[in-house]
Structures are given as structure tokens and as C-alpha cells.
Chains A and B, each alone.
Chain A
Amino acid sequence: ETGVTQSPTHLIKTRGQQVTLRCSSQSGHNTVSWYQQALGQGPQFIFQYYREEENGRGNFPPRFSGLQFPNYSSELNVNALELDDSALYLCASSFRQGVVGGEAFFGQGTRLTVV
């Protein structure tokens, strides 16, 4: 077990709706990253939070946003859902010391289906 838990495990939403996915990081980890994994592809970096501030973003539009809380939990919010947003969403926590990022430990993921 990685100590990283995500909820819910599965979710079905309608195009145009909004969704919030949740993650509880491993205790002591100060960095959380979110990834999107389409079927048959490797995970794609969405963004990262370090000490509750967004610290970097991949090639995803602003309708993807997030939060990190002091209790090691975090959220990924997606507005105006599109069919292409259907994917496995992964949360990864790690301990970053200065500019060096450590090993990332992943949760089990949330399978989002947009219909």
C-alpha cells in the first residue's frame, strides 16, 4: 500500500458538467501531482502543488484546476466536461526537498467517464 487514497473510484458525468476528484496524500509528503491517463497511454502531467501552491502545469486548459490543503489532501476540479476528458485520473504524492523531487507514489486512480 502506498498510503495514497483517491475518491471516488469510478464516476460517470454528463458533458458540460463539473467534477471534483479527491486525494489523500501520504503523511509527510509536501508535493502532490495529478496525471491523466487515457486508455493505452502513459500518464500525462496535469499540474503539481507544493506547499499548497500550484508549482507547475502541463498542457491542460484552465478548466482543470486544483487545491492542496494543509492536511495532505488535495482536489482536482474539472469544469465544462468534454467527452475527451474520459480517462483514469491519478494522484501522486512525493517529498520534495529544495529543487529535488523524490519518488512519486500513486493512488489507485479515479475512472471518469463523460457521456
Chain B
Amino acid sequence: EDQVTQSPEALRLQEGESSSLNCSYTVSGLRGLFWYRQDPGKGPEFLFTLYSAGEEKEKERLKATLTKKESFLHITAPKPEDSATYLCAVQGYTGTASKLTFGTGTRLQVTL
């Protein structure tokens, strides 16, 4: 069974204070690892897909990286508008195609 563990559960940063969120996973063959951002009471917003170890993707202040066991979401010089819950999910080769297994997320709060 696919499993995803995210840490920390919550993170409080000051504006401009860079940090990283961790996503550890176990999966029977990785089709893809996905990062989403979720604002309170809203649906998850797609950020990145990573397919193989060593791959990196960037978008504004966010950079996602992937190894064979974990992924990191690096946030550089965050702003208050980056405050949200960040969800990591994996899609494996066994079972239902397109099924995502999610972690419980990291709640990020960025203060002035």
C-alpha cells in the first residue's frame, strides 16, 4: 500500500525566512509525485509533478526536488500570501491509474 508522510505538521516563518517541507513516501513503482497548495475551505491547487529521482521544478518562490525516498518543497524568501497547507501525493504503478495517495499536509504560516 502506498504511504506518504509529511513533516513538519505546521511551520511558522517570518517573511523572507527560507525553509523546506519534507515528503517521505513508499510506493510500488512511482508514476509521479505531486505537490498541491490548499487554502482553507478550498480544493487543492496543482503546483508540480515530479517523475524521477534527481528531477527539480521551480515556480516563483517554490522549488520541488525528488529522491528515491522523499521530496522536498523549498520556499525561498516567503511572503504572507504563501500561507497555506501544502499537500504531497504519490501515484503508483499498482492499483488504480490516476489514484492519488496524499499525506496529511504541512500548514505553513508566514508572518510579517
Contact = CB atoms under 8 A, between A and B. Distances in A.
The reply to whether chain A is a binding partner of chain B is yes
Given A106-B44, A107-B43, A101 B103 contact: no
Contacts of A104: 34, 46, 98, 100
A24 interface: no
B42 interface: yes
Interface in B11-35: 31-32, 34
B103 A48 contact: no
A84 interface: no
A33 B98 CA distance: 8
A56 B44 CA distance: 21
Interface size bucket, B side?
20 to 34
A105 interface: yes
Contacts of A4: 43
Nearest to B105: A42
Nearest to B102: A42
A55 interface: yes
Contacts of A92: 100
A35 B103 CA distance: 13
A101 B104 contact: no
A90 to B, nearest CB: 5
Contact of A43 (B31, B42, B44, B46): B44
B31 A105 contact: no
Interface in B71-112: 87, 89, 91, 95-105
A13 interface: no
A46 B100 CA distance: 10
Nearest to B36: A106
19 contacts: A2-B45, A6-B43, A33-B100, A42-B4, A42-B87, A42-B89, A42-B104, A45-B96, A90-B43, A92-B100, A94-B98, A96-B97, A101-B91, A103-B32, A104-B46, A106-B36, A106-B44, A106-B45, A109-B42
Interface of B: 4, 31-32, 34, 36, 41-46, 49, 87, 89, 91, 95-105
